[in-house]
Structure 1
Amino acid sequence: MKLIRLALGILLPPVGVFLTYGLSTTLLINILLTFLGWVPGSIHAVWAIAKHEEKLHQQPGSV
């Protein structure tokens, strides 16, 4: 599923972010960046999806 979200984050940035975060401020920021250009939207989407995956895989209690 992560690979699909990353691929959508590159091809259709708001869709990839929506599948990861749902309706959130991250999605709104990504939509605005995508309106400014496809490249900024894609960069933000890949970054946001990777950051979300990183948070999911962190061990609780570790610093």
Structure 2
Amino acid sequence: MVKASDVLLILVAILFPPAAAAFITGCSCDLLINILLTILGYLPGHLHAFWLIYRKMRAEEQYGHGGYHYVGNGQYEPLYDGAVPGQGGYAPIPQAPVNYGATGNQYAPR
């Protein structure tokens, strides 16, 4: 599903590809690559920016909105271990068992 922010990124990439790359990756090696590709030819800069946008959209589908972070080279990782698609990247955190019996359990209150 294409969101309004993705459409805006595509429009920015059409006008000035390094700006779209900067919005997606921040100040990273991919930004430098995009600047160099745009200097070498406008079309390679566009292709690289569109590829970055595509990878970002795929990460949103896989990890949910805001449930990922950019690690470089078009790769994304979940913010939290066990991220489940559709849950915004959040997954339940397993809790340690609580046993308040006289077994000397380390989880008993003191």
TM-score between both structures, scaled by the size of structure 2: 0.51
Q: CA deviation at 1:56?
A: 2.3
Find out whether 1:7 has 2:11 as its counterpart: yes
Q: What corresponds to 2:43 in structure 1?
A: 39
Moved over 6 A (4+): none
Overall identity of the aligned pairs, in %? 37
Q: CA deviation at 1:25?
A: 1.0
Of 21, 24, 30, which residue of structure 2 is paired with 1:26? 30
TM-score between both structures, scaled by the size of structure 1: 0.85
Greater mean alpha carbon deviation, residues 51-60 or residues 36-45: 51-60
Amino acid at match of 1:8: V
Alpha-carbon distance in structure 1 between the residues aligned to 2:18 and 2:25: 10
Extract unaligned runs of 5+ from structure 1: none
Amino acid at match of 2:54: A
Amino acid at match of 1:37: G
Q: Any idea what the Cα deviations from partners look like across 1:2-40, whole Å, max 9, x if unmatched?
A: 111111112200001111111111111100100101111
